[in-house]
Structure formats: structure tokens, C-alpha cells
A and B are shown apart, each in its own frame.
Chain A
Amino acid sequence: MTPAITVSGLVKTFGPARALDGLDLTVNTGEVHGFLGPNGAGKSTTIRILLGLVRATSGTVRLLGGDPWADAVALHRRLAYVPGDVELWPNLTGGEVIDVLGRLRGGIDERRKRELIERFELDPRKKARTYSKGNRQKVALVSALAADVELLILDEPTSGLDPLMEAVFQQVVAEVKAAGRTVLLSSHILAQVETLADRITIVRDGRAVESGTLARLRHLTRTTIAAETASPVTGLDRLPGVHRARAGAGSVSFSVDAEHLDAAVRHLTTFGIRSLVSHPPTLEELMLRHYETEEAAA
């Protein structure tokens, strides 16, 4: 099956500023793809190009088998979009906006809409000007999730939602995925992507710095270890593959490359382990590591 989204060597410049600098991204059909990066990395610009709102300076972009700029209208029948910062027409009610946006997309599933309004606990009869940011976000989410489309493009869709609503969002996206739809989920909330995404792409400074399944990315990285020992640990610094070692009186923490894990733990046992906590790298650590390498290079 052809991928839902294929982007290669994408460049976008705004005057002298280079927002995207040769970005590559592949989203397979039927997967939830996490699109991660710090603010200003180029996530939203990429998405705006995928939506045909902004034209690429160079590079190739294919979306659902079409060109997002030239075939924008036809492609938009098959996708739904939620921006991170939703603005609504102040003198329309939330319910009206959901319908308007749904109809613009070519119709809305009424039953699904009512169900989502209920699940997200949205009052659709209030004027949009009275909504908080979270409620405006819900309006856009309900309208997009109730659409019968192949692809959902979600750009930091839960900013402003409380944790309960965040959980509802996770459930709904899981259902969408089970129904065989493709989701591009841009976020800097890493926990969200960790639970939902099949694969992730990490962007920085307009370029994809890492892409693959979470398991594969973790394989490349270090495990973090925190331990309490009977006697103070010495000699950790000299072990290969050990980083950021911090030793106190009777406690130690460090991270270690996968291939040197065995040697490091064996070294610890010589000091009498009283407790040992190890956890796989979180996405925060994945991203922090990229910063470190940049800084080291600079």
C-alpha cells in the first residue's frame, strides 16, 4: 500500500528565514504517526504545506496520492484538520460552527457528532465568543473527528484541554486507528504520542533528525539507572558507554548505552545493591540527546 504522506527534501523559506530545511517524512496508511519537535521546529509549517495552505519552496510532497497545492480541494474531501490554536466566528454558536465546518467538508455524521459532543462535554448552544480556549479546541476536534475521512491531521490538538478530556481524546484516536484511518499527530506532549503513535518522526530546525518505531529508537539510546548501594560507587566514569554519572553517599544515577548495560550493572553489584530502578529512555531524553549532540558539535 502506498504511504498516506510522503515528503522528501522539503524546503520552505519565508524571506531570509528558512523554516524547513530538507525535511523528510513518511506516514504509512493506517498508522498513527507522531510528529514531534520543539516550538519553531517546523511542524506547523510542514502541516500547512500538507494542507495546501502554504506552497513549498522546493522538495516533493505527496498526500493521499495527490499534490497538496494543486489538488487541495479534492484532497480535503478525504482529510480533516485540527489546528493547535482554534479561532471561531464569535457570533456563531459552537454547534453552528461544527455544522458549518462539517458541511464545508461535504457532510457530517450526525450520530457521531452528537456522541462526540457528549463525550467531550461541550455545550453546543453557547456563542463561540464565550468559549474558553479548551472549548474552542473541542469544537474543532468534534467537527474533525465526526468526519468520515481517511486522514486526520492534528496539530497539537489538545492544547488547552484538561487531563480528563485528554483521556477522551486518546480513546477517540485509538478508535479512529482501529477503524483503519491514518493520523498525523503533531505534538510536544511526549506522553501523548508515546501511547498513541506507531511510529514517530522527530524534527529540529526544519529537518527530521530521527524517524522510526519507538522500539527502534529506544534501541539506539541509553537506559537510565538509579541505584542505592551499601558502599559509595567509584570508577563509573571510567566504564565505556556510561554518561552523566552522578554519585552521592550511597546513591548513584547514570545513563548507559544499550551495549554496555551488562558491564555497568555488573560493576554496580560489587558495591552491594540495595535498590535498583532502571527505565527505558523517555522521548524527552531522546530529544534532549539531540540537543546535546548539537551543542557538542557547535
Chain B
Amino acid sequence: MTATSSRPRDGGGPLTGTGAMVRLALRRDRLRLPIWVLVVVALVPRFYYAATSAVVPTPQALADATRLIRASFMRVLAGPFFGAEAVTTQKYFLAAYWVEFLLAAALMNILLVTRHTRAEEQSGRAELVRAAVVGRPAQLTAALVVAAAGNAVLALLAAVAAGAIGFTAGGALLFGASLAAAGMVFAAVAAVTAQLTEHPRGATGLAGAVLFVAWLLRGAGSLQAEQGGPLFWLSPIGWSQQTRVLAGDRWWPLGLSVLLAALLVAAAYALAGRRDLGAALVAARPGTACAPVWLRSPLALALRLRRAAIVSWAAAFLAVGLVLGGMTGAMSVTDLPIFAGADFGRAWLGLMVFTGSLYTGVHAVLSVLRLRAEEVRGLAGPVLAGPTSRRAWFGSSLLASALAVVALLTVYGVALGAGAALSTGDGRLVAEVAWASLRRVPEVLVLLAVPAALLGLAPRAAGAAAWAVLGCSGFVAVLGAYLRLPGPLVNASVLSHLPWHPLEAAAPVATVVLLGLAAALTGLGLYGLRRRDLSTG
């Protein structure tokens, strides 16, 4: 045939096709990636404005806010405050929000890398690609190249934004680089986890768990010493912060990030080069040949389909609850005279109970949006073609989601309370915190009912709108008073109405109203669903 027939090795480098894969990834993410970067960058001036206009309008207020943020119980969430001997609003901005920017950069990279590696394999598209002239590690390389490019753009734009809010040029660049470094480390983490699990969700979850551990280590290290103890130095998030932007500007901690990212990338390549396409480190075990006897109703099916998600979320809630609850003891001790008498332990638990409610909301939205995926992928068809009505299918699925919400809030509340009881020696906290957690069920049910209503009325928009409602509600509830947002806007948030137990008293009216709202939204969803066409394909 051709001259190359006898020489199959010609032009067959392992990275062949990387350029084309990069262009394909950019084409696929031409909206997603810019939106991520721009939102993160836009939050720099937004948060700075919040800090200057609302929290620290006068030198005295700035000094008070600084003292608060340096208190031990705040250091887990924010800080460290570097350069406190000469406080400025820019330094305050860093102490208050830097961690959030680092977490956002890490999350952006985890999702990006998983999306272009394991998700492609699991969908089967990678098979088409690899059957073409594309080297084995080309897809992984392309994902990392796109992540690196995204991080570079993020670093530059964040530096510009930081410059615009009064950072020194060097500080602004270092701030941008700190985000890119954290991003790159977690791109590399995701590159490894993508080799380990069969499903993209597992890869994302594993990388997310690593991120959470990094966050915990940073927090625990902050409790060890104000500028970060030994545990702080075990966290890639901590390395980015140890650059001490605007308080000495040192670049060398980012060397640790680069080193770790390089090691992880090398590990990912070693794994990727050796394994079969689609294979995971742990091979799937065979399941049972017959359905168990209880699996005979739409509700049982809905619970069975959600079982893995519920169990893994519950396990995560259990671990996280114990750890966060365990910090209560350290929180209760305050060295600030102006806060004498305040119950910081319960304030912390109230905040953590609320956070648990927000994350349970995430689970609820995912659980309800499953229905849309089932419908579009044709999984709902066979069920509805049988003697199962739409009402039964929809209702039992939502009931399964609601049961999961109650179960998760219980597990989380008990774990948080147990952790708090262990760290303070006050056994009553278990029941108190568990009850506080359960009292947040109504607001999560509303978060669950929002996508349920949309599934009936505007199914195409259900995903985006449900996440927007959840995100905006959480944002407004957490920062509404802080940012001095107008009252009606704060009240529009689903999450603004229940008091922060266990410190604050119960609110029976809000509870009843929220439950009624959840029921009404669910009814609307069912009304819409029974009248519209089912989507397919």
C-alpha cells in the first residue's frame, strides 16, 4: 500500500492530537470556562465593596472587625490576618475572603479536568477519539493544558481586579498567582482521581473530598497558631495563603504548590498510560441477579436509585459533622473582652447547622433533577408506560428525596452535636443540635420543591433555575445583613426565614409558611407535569 505500511511507528508520539483535543475542549467550554473565570474575578471588587462600605466604614470599625476576625473561632473560616500591625481594608479583604477565592479556583479546576477526562471515557466519546490519531495521554494533557490556560487567565484578571481595589502591583500579581497555584494543584488532584473511579461523579467526589481535607487542615492549622501552625502547612490552600500578600509578599510557598502539582500529574500519567480505556482502579463487582422482594413500588424504586447517593452523602455528613462539632470547644473560648458573655459555641453550631441545611439543599436539588435526567434519557418511559401514573412516579420520587433530606439532616445534626458534646463535655448538645438541624427541614423542602415545580412548568430551565434559586438564597441568607442588602431582597431568600438554632428561638409561623410553600410548589409541578408532553432523546 503506502510507504508507511512497513513503518507503523512513524509520527506516533504519545501526545499526538493534543492540539486538536485542546481546541475541542475550548469549543465545548466556550461559555462555561469564561463564566467561571469572570464570576470569580467579579467577586473581587464585589467583596471588597462589601468590606469597605458595610463592615469597615471607619477606622474604629475596621479595628473592631479585625479583632473579630482574629478571634480563634473565626480563624477556622477566615484569615489568617497577615500584617495586623498596620491594618488596611485590602488586608481585611484578604483575611475575610481569600479562602473563598481559593476554594472557587480549586472547584473550577476539579470540574474542568473531570469533565474532559473521566466523563469522556464513561460516556464512550473517548472511544471514538482514541480510535483516531490521538495518543493515549493526549486527552489528559489537553485537559491540563486547558486548566492551566484557564488558571493563567484567572490569575491575570484577578490581579487586575486586585490592582483596581488598591493592591500594590506585586501584591496583586501574587494574589492572582495564589489562585492559579491552588487551581493547578486541584487540577492535578482531579487528574489522579479521574484515573481511579469508573464514573465522573466518583472522580469529582474524591477530588472534592481532598479539597475538603485541605480546607480542614487549613482551619485546624489556624487554631494551632494565628499565622498558621504545622497543620496549616499540610494544606495546598494554606500554601497559597502563606504567600502573605500585602504583608511581605513572598512567592516561595507557591513552589510547594508547583511541586505537588507536578508529582500528582506524573502519577496521573503513570496510571493513565498503563490502564485500559474505561477501566477503574477498582473493578466493578457483579451485583445480584434478582431484585430484592421490597423493590416493587415506585417509591421503592426511587429510593433504590438514590441509595448510593444518600449513603455517600450521609457518610460525608457524619464525618464532617463530627469534625465541625469537635471544633466547638475551641470556639467557646474567647480572648476578646468585647464579646464576653456571648455564647460562641452555640453561635458556631448555629452557623454550622445552617451550612448543613444549605448542603442538604444541594443534595435535594440533585435528587429532584434526577427526574429530568430520567425523563430525557428515556428511563422514565418504561415506568410510565406501565400501570404507574405520572402522579405516582413524580410523587414517590419527591417523597424519596424528602425522606433523604430528613435522614441527612438527622445524621448531620447528631454528628455535629456528638462532636460538640465530646469537645465541650456537655452531653445535652447531642439532642439540642440534632433538633436544631431537624427544624431546618421546611426550608430544604422548599429548595426541593422549586425544581419540582419547574419540572412540571418549565422543564428545560429546571436545572439552571433551581441552582440559581439555591445559590442566590444561600448567598443572600449568609451575606444579606452583612452586605446591607435591601429587606425585600433578603426576605426573598428561602433560607432567610428560620432562626439560627440553637441560639435563637423557634419560629412556628415561618415553619408553617415554608411547609405550605413547599406543598404548593410541588402541587404546581404535578399540575404542569400531568399536562405537558414528556421529552425524549
A53 interfacial contact with B, CB 8 Å: yes
Give Cα distance in the complex from A52 to B127, angstroms.
10
Of A64, A73, A96, most B-chain CB atoms within 10 Å:
A73
Of A29, A87, A150, most B-chain CB atoms within 10 Å:
A87
The reply to whether A54 and B8 form a contact with Cβ atoms under 8 Å apart is: no
Select B11's contact among A48, A74, A100, beta carbons within 8 Å.
A74
Produce 1/0 per residue, B122-148, CB < 8 A to A. 011101111111111000000000000
Determine how close the nearest CB of chain A comes to the CB of B401; give it in whole angstroms: 25
Secondary structure of the B side of the interface? Answer: loop
Q: A53-B127, A92-B28, A104-B17 are in contact. Are A65 and B5 (CB under 8 A)?
A: yes
Q: A87-B123, A92-B27, A92-B28 are in contact. Are A104 and B283 (CB under 8 A)?
A: no
Residues of B within 8 A of A87 (CB): 123-125, 128
The reply to whether A104 and B8 form a contact with Cβ atoms under 8 Å apart is: no
Give Cα distance in the complex from A85 to B526, angstroms.
34
Q: A14-B283, A53-B277 are in contact. Are A104 and B13 (CB under 8 A)?
A: no
Residues of A within 8 A of B135 (CB): 72-73
B1 interfacial contact with A, CB 8 Å: yes
Give Cα distance in the complex from A71 to B16, angstroms.
12
The reply to whether A71 and B24 form a contact with Cβ atoms under 8 Å apart is: no
Chain A to chain B contacts (Cβ below 8 Å), 21 pairs: A29-B1, A48-B127, A48-B276, A54-B279, A66-B9, A71-B12, A72-B135, A74-B10, A76-B133, A76-B134, A78-B4, A78-B5, A81-B128, A83-B128, A87-B125, A87-B128, A91-B28, A100-B20, A104-B132, A105-B132, A150-B5
Select B129's contact among A75, A96, A104, beta carbons within 8 Å.
A104
Give Cα distance in the complex from A75 to B124, angstroms.
21
Produce 1/0 per residue, B167-204, CB < 8 A to A. 00000000000000000000000000000000000000
The reply to whether B128 and A73 form a contact with Cβ atoms under 8 Å apart is: no
Secondary structure of the A side of the interface? Answer: loop
B25 (CB) vs chain A CBs: closest residue? A89
5 shortest interchain CB distances as A-B pairs: A66-B8, A74-B12, A81-B131, A104-B132, A73-B12
Give Cα distance in the complex from A48 to B283, angstroms.
18
Q: A14-B283, A104-B132 are in contact. Are A85 and B124 (CB under 8 A)?
A: yes
Give Cα distance in the complex from A53 to B208, angstroms.
28
A77 interfacial contact with B, CB 8 Å: yes
Produce 1/0 per residue, A240-276, CB < 8 A to B. 0000000000000000000000000000000000000
Residues of A within 8 A of B248 (CB): none
Give Cα distance in the complex from A75 to B4, angstroms.
10
* Residues of A near any B CB (own CB < 8 A): 14-15, 29, 48, 51-55, 64-67, 71-81, 83, 85-89, 91-92, 96, 100-101, 103-106, 130-132, 140, 150, 153
Give Cα distance in the complex from A75 to B136, angstroms.
13
B60 interfacial contact with A, CB 8 Å: no
Give Cα distance in the complex from A85 to B125, angstroms.
10
A85 (CB) vs chain B CBs: closest residue? B124
A71 (CB) vs chain B CBs: closest residue? B8
Produce 1/0 per residue, B92-124, CB < 8 A to A. 000000000000000000000000000000011
Determine how close the nearest CB of chain A comes to the CB of B284; give it in whole angstroms: 9
Residues of A within 8 A of B21 (CB): 104
- Report B1-40 residues with CB < 8 Å from chain A CB: 1-2, 4-6, 8-14, 16-17, 20-21, 24, 27-28
B292 interfacial contact with A, CB 8 Å: no
B15 (CB) vs chain A CBs: closest residue? A73
Select B8's contact among A75, A80, A100, beta carbons within 8 Å.
A75
The reply to whether A76 and B131 form a contact with Cβ atoms under 8 Å apart is: yes
Residues of A within 8 A of B128 (CB): 81, 83, 86-87, 101, 140
Q: A48-B277, A65-B6, A104-B17 are in contact. Are A77 and B11 (CB under 8 A)?
A: yes
The reply to whether B130 and A53 form a contact with Cβ atoms under 8 Å apart is: yes
Select B133's contact among A77, A100, A150, beta carbons within 8 Å.
A77
Determine how close the nearest CB of chain B comes to the CB of A133; give it in whole angstroms: 8
B287 interfacial contact with A, CB 8 Å: no
Give Cα distance in the complex from A137 to B324, angstroms.
51
B387 interfacial contact with A, CB 8 Å: no
The reply to whether A83 and B11 form a contact with Cβ atoms under 8 Å apart is: no
Residues of B within 8 A of A140 (CB): 128
- Report B46-95 residues with CB < 8 Å from chain A CB: none
B341 interfacial contact with A, CB 8 Å: no
Residues of B within 8 A of A66 (CB): 8-9
